[in-house]
A and B are shown apart, each in its own frame.
Chain A
Amino acid sequence: MKSDIILAGVGGQGILSIAATIGMAAVDKDLNLKQAEVHGMSQRGGDVQSHLRVSSKPIASDLIPKGKADIILSVEPMESLRYLPYLSKTGWVVTNTTPFVNIPNYPEMDTVMAKIAEQPNHIAIDADKIAAEVATKRSSNIVMLGAASQFIDIEFEALEEGLRKIFERKGDAIVESNINALRAGRAAAEEILASRN
């Protein structure tokens, strides 16, 4: 198996927790993993991305080549479009629809959503809203992981287990809340796909 995933968002939105969860699951399944993160200046509200590669074979590059990503998993709508050159022709854009507006020239939301809708394979869900309903608003990143999970070649249970390990130090309540967020994201994405068929 091989999953090349671009995680996208804005500094502070928690894409590294998504990466850590997938990473934990991959290590448990004895898969190879490379995950390039952005630290430093951009974490102050700038655009950030992480290249996450999971494979049953050894992985050469820490960076995903352009045109090779299987998924762009974005916790912010405009950011889901920034890395399109990396997406393969058959890849999926999975994005949150709640914008993170910290710049004065953020484009019109309608045009952003229209552009996302133009992508041949896309899923757009309001992860902030879902997170607020089933967990806390801060779990919207984990909702997005849930939404993308069906395109990642790792069993869903392994992702749940990964979440448990990552959040276990913070107590059962936090673990359960994140697992709820993961499941709700998965369900929302499945519903969208079912409605299209």
Chain B
Amino acid sequence: MQKLLLLGDEAIAQGAIDAGLSGVYAYPGTPSTEITEYIQDSKIANERRIHSKWSSNEKTAMESALGMAYAGKRAMTCMKHVGLNVAADAFINAAITGVNGGFVVVAADDPSMHSSQNEQDSRVYGKFAMIPILEPVNQQEAYDMTYAAFEMSERFNVPVMIRITTRLAHSRAGVVRKELLAEKEVSLPKDPTQFVLLPSIARRNYKKLIETRPDLEKISMESPYNTYTDAPDRSLGIIACGIAHNYLMENFQDRELNHPVLKLSQYPMPRKDIERMVEECDKILVLEDGYPVIEELLKGYQEAGTPVTGRLDGTLPRDGELTPNIVANSLGFPFEEGADVPDLMVGRPPAMCKGCGHIDAYQALNIALEEHGPGRVFADIGCYTLGALPPYNAVNSCVDMGASITMAKGAADAGLLPAVAVIGDSTFTHSGMTGLLDAVNEKTPITVILSDNYTTGMTGGQDSQALGHLEQIIEGLGVEPEHIRVFKPTAANLDDMVNIIKEEFAYEGVSVIIPRRQCIQTLRNKSLVMKVKELGL
């Protein structure tokens, strides 16, 4: 069969489609976005009417996917690492309910924080939930593992996590497909109480989950993705997890690999392989693209037994993604770098696009705030976060999805007035609505700038769940209609915008100001332009 050239993300998507997927549920988030987009554009997926529309947030996505798995069909949910925090409640409890149809959770981690606010390692979540974790080393494994994960989920009655990092998610390579499987029929769980997590039932289910542990360790031992390669020089044994194995092997293109290597791509850890390495090797080096999860587990607190090195003892940097050169350093291999970066080089940080409506909104906000002083603008996650950078220097926080409104509320409660929140339309429907309700219920004096560009801009212009009913939602949450102020953010409207913002600063209750203009990156998206026209926006 002809090789497809696929991103790691796309390989996961194709693997899921070919395994008989009936629905993917997701909210966009780098580096996971392309999984769902690939399914949205897939011919087979469209013919089969596989669900692929965006969800409001990762929690709604996780729960919808679980509902589909309840109904006996194969379902997948995909998110960036921090999205799993949003979905964590559903995620951990899905391990207690178990599944009916296969249920796969993809977590795309971002070590080095290329597009994220932290570099948390989702393997910790997988272990926390006590479910199997698959960590592909390349695009073909990403495809093969996803293809097999649904069956594994059904066989052991647990969700299965696929954990990737940015470099695999966004790297392309050839992938060979397998046979396209049929979708599952709708069926009910055999035990009608399985998904009812009343304490008495949850206790029973949890015991069952604990009982699967030995089976899961056994399949890790038998897994073709975990391989122990013995070699004569046992002064050092190397454990290489997921993509770290690539960086290890890169260093042995022109050298003989004399040390035993355990390639680790399926968890829980294959206990016998670990025991063998501990027993046979004088020292163990652990390579992980993320937190020192395995290293810490092996090292423990007693510092007894075989010495373990890696991120915790400085053999590798404690933070940031691995590279072939970092791994070379850890092995003591010298390498010759090219020329130094010249002194004239300057940074080129990302910036809001020329002509972006957020810029006009910030210009007005900065003028309106002049008389009040700095330090009172709580922003959120999206392109407008870039308003933190010069020349705008317009915002003072960016923490997590939806935190703008709630942090502004807390600051207002503390007496910091005016307190301003800046949030986009998609982030608002993701996690801003409940916080706004808190503020409405207490009539907290906050001014929310809800910068509406009809899209999820930062991740590439995906649908916004708010489109066409933003004011309705805000009014429904209890904001008074006279304090919902909509305008078009343009240079010509600057004075009007400043006046509106100042008027709402003076109001001692919740105001929502909506600067509304289409994201210029989406102007070539004909269906969105049509829709905006139809809605009369």
Contact = CB atoms under 8 A, between A and B. Distances in A.
Interface of A: 10-11, 19, 23-24, 27, 32-47, 59-67, 69, 78-79, 81-82, 84-89, 91, 102-108, 111-112, 115, 119
B313 interface: no
A107 B31 CA distance: 32
Contact of A40 (B31, B168, B346): B31
15 contacts: A23-B5, A33-B5, A33-B172, A37-B172, A38-B114, A40-B115, A40-B459, A44-B458, A46-B350, A62-B167, A65-B325, A69-B338, A88-B338, A104-B391, A107-B344
A41 B338 contact: no
Contact of A39 (B3, B5, B31, B386): B31
B198 interface: no
A33 B6 CA distance: 11
A111 B336 contact: no
Interface of B: 3, 5, 7, 30-31, 33-34, 114-115, 167-168, 170-174, 243, 246-247, 249-250, 253, 323-325, 328, 335-342, 344-353, 383, 386, 391, 458-460
A63 B174 CA distance: 16
Given A35-B172, A41-B30, A102-B351, A67 B346 contact: no
Given A35-B171, A62-B246, A81-B344, 6 more contacts: A34-B173, A36-B167, A37-B171, A45-B348, A63-B324, A108-B344
Contacts of A112: 344
A69 B339 CA distance: 12
Given A61-B246, A61-B324, A37 B338 contact: no
A11 B458 CA distance: 13
Contact of B172 (A34, A81, A85, A119): A34
A75 to B, nearest CB: 13
Nearest to A2: B253
A159 to B, nearest CB: 15
Given A67-B337, A81-B342, A88-B338, A46 B172 contact: no
Most B CB contacts (10 A, CB to CB) among A40, A91, A102, A107 go to A40
A187 B344 CA distance: 31
A35 B138 CA distance: 12
B345 A81 contact: yes
Closest 3 CB pairs of A and B: A40-B115, A40-B30, A46-B350
A85 B253 CA distance: 20
Given A40-B31, A47-B348, A81 B341 contact: yes
Contacts of B339: 84-85, 87, 119
